[in-house]
Amino acid sequence: MSRDLVEHGLTWSWTRTRVARNMADRDTSTLVAAVGRKIVGFAMMHFGDDHAHLNLFAVKPAYQRGGVGAEMLRWLEQSASAAGLSAIHLEVRLNNVSARRFYRGAGFQDVAVLPRYYGGVESALWMARDIRVRTASQST
């Protein structure tokens, strides 16, 4: 799914070995969404000291626009928030308009364009979402 949905057209960098290594990393959460026993979506997020970094995120085409992505993102946000982190960061391909709309709709904001971020050939948009819980006195 990572190769076909996230890295299509780029050199495959999230190989089985790299994914397996990250799954075994105790600072990384791997999440799958399933319908019955069939995996329809997955995500991989690294928990840093201050913020989490969403490395991989995809929903199978037949299940897109059905709320699976939003549900996975909610789970990841709650998880990062429970870990005391202040934000979630990610990079998305600059030309991936649907994913950018998805993240923007979920409250992510553009941080910067990273030229030639992917293999020196394609640019990324760095996005982030502040997940700090504010008390009533802080929000006034």
Ligand X SMILES: CC(C)(COP(=O)(O)OP(=O)(O)OC[C@H]1O[C@@H](n2cnc3c(N)ncnc32)[C@H](O)[C@@H]1OP(=O)(O)O)[C@@H](O)C(=O)NCCC(=O)NCCS
Which residues bind to ligand X, rule: CB under 6 A? Answer: 5-6, 57-59, 64-70, 90, 92, 96, 98-99, 101-102, 105
100 or 137, CB closer to ligand X?
100
Amino acid, res. 75: W
Cα diameter, the chain: 49
What gap in Å lies between CA 56 and CA 2, rounded to an integer? 7
85 or 88, CB closer to ligand X?
88
Q: Which residue's Cβ has the minimum distance to ligand X? A: 69
3-state SS assignment for residue 24? helix
3-state SS assignment for residue 106? coil
6 or 88, CB closer to ligand X?
6
Least distance in Å: CB of 135 to ligand X?
29
Tell me how crowded residue 44 is: count the other CB atoms within 10 A of its CB: 23
Dihedral over alpha carbons 95, 97, 99, 102 (to 10 degrees)? 150
Least distance in Å: CB of 49 to ligand X?
22
Least distance in Å: CB of 133 to ligand X?
23
57 or 85, CB closer to ligand X?
57
Least distance in Å: CB of 115 to ligand X?
17
